[in-house]
Amino acid sequence: MEKPFILVLCTGNSCLSQMAEGILRRVAGDMVEVQSAGSNPAQLVHPKAIQVMSEIGIDISNNRSKHLNEFLDRKIHTVITVCGNADEACPIFPGMVARYHWGFEDPAKAQGSEGEILQVFRKVRDEISRVFEAYGAGIQFTAKR
């Protein structure tokens, strides 16, 4: 049986969607396949996103920023957009079962000292964790029924 494919989208695929992908992978385990992409990829995963994710034991340092077009030929079960621009730019994937929009502040736009910017990254990471851990728990619960 083919695992459901979940695609997490944001504009740059450098922060929000990368963090969400890492968290959902950890929570849902091998129940689903999870990838992230962007409508206008930044070409890198933000170093501060890598740093704050490593603080909670998730390594996204080998992830890469991908364009959503890489997945147009895939059978997508669920699309989750995590920023407003991606929600507006999200294409309809053939056979898509569900689509959710859970918007978060873009930590890459944070200003201030190094410490203040890291605090924004941590706050957003924790918000993403709460939402995606609950979603992943639902996946686990449904799979066990």
Q: What is the CATH number of domain 5-133?
A: 3.40.50.2300
pLDDT for res 13: 94
pLDDT for res 137: 86
- Is 10 annotated in the active site? yes
For the chain, give every domain's residue range: 5-133
Specify the pTM.
0.92
CA distance 48 to 141: 32
| Per-residue pLDDT of the chain in tens (145 residues, 90 and over written 9) | 688 999 999 999 999 999 999 999 999 988 899 999 998 999 899 999 999 999 999 999 999 999 999 998 889 999 999 987 655 666 677 777 888 999 999 999 999 999 999 999 999 999 999 999 999 988 877 766 6
Q: Three-state DSSP class for 145?
A: coil
DSSP 94-109: TT--EEEE-----GGG
Q: Which residues pair with 8 in a beta bridge?
A: 36, 80
- Is 90 annotated in the active site? yes
Q: From the candidates 8, 60, 83, 108, which is the catalytic residue? A: 83
Task: Yes or no: say if 27 and 78 are a contact pair by the CB < 8 Å rule.
Answer: no
- Report residue 68: phi and psi, to 5°: -60, -25
Q: From the candidates 8, 10, 15, 32, which is the catalytic residue? A: 10
Q: From the candidates 9, 34, 45, 90, which is the catalytic residue? A: 90
Label each residue of 27-93 as H, E or C.
HHHHHCEEEEEECCCCCCCCHHHHHHHHCCCCCCCCCCCCEHHHHCCCCCCEEEECCHHHHHHCCCC
Bridging pattern class, strands 5-10 and 33-38? parallel
- Is 15 annotated in the active site? no
Q: Is the alpha carbon torsion for 60, 65, 68, 69 positive or negative? A: negative
